Amino acid sequence: NPQIGKPTGNDLREGKVTLPLLYALNNAPEEHSTLMKDMLVKGDLTTDEINTLIEFAKDNGGIDYAFEVMRDMQKEADSIIDRYPDCESKKCFKEIFEFIISRDF
C-alpha cells in the first residue's frame, strides 16, 4: 500500500498478526471474529483470504485504532523531545515522526 510504504498483507503472508487485525479480532462480533481466527489458525493464507482479513480489519476499526495508537505515541515522543532546546535535529525528529504517520506517496 503506497500510503503505508509497504505491500499490504505481507505481515499476514509471513504469519504475523498486526495491531489493526488484533484490534478487529478483539472488538468485532464473535461470529465474525471466530471465522477470521479460524482462517488465521489454518495458516498458509491465500491472497483472497489475506484480502478478507484486511477488509475485516478495516471494517471493524482496526486501521483507525492503529492510527490512534501512532498519534498517541507521537504525542509521547513529542513530550520527551520538547524537553530539549530547539535545534535542527529536534526539528528533523518531529518531521520524521509526522512523515511516518501521515505519509502519502
Q: What is the pLDDT of residue 15?
A: 83
Q: How confident is the model at residue 32 (pLDDT cuts 50, 70, 90)?
A: very high
| pTM over 0.85, yes/no | no
Q: What is the pLDDT of residue 10?
A: 83
95-102 long-range Cβ contacts below 8 angstroms, 24+ apart: 98/74, 100/70, 101/67, 101/70, 101/71, 101/74
pLDDT at 95 exceeding the cut of 60 = yes
CB-neighbour burial class of residue 61 (10 A; exposed 0-12, middle 13-18, buried 19+): middle
Q: How confident is the model at residue 104 (pLDDT cuts 50, 70, 90)?
A: low
- Summarised one tens digit per residue, pLDDT across range 44-56 is 899 999 999 999 9
- Summarised one tens digit per residue, pLDDT across range 58-93 is 999 999 999 999 999 999 999 999 999 999 999 999
Q: What is the pLDDT of residue 101?
A: 84
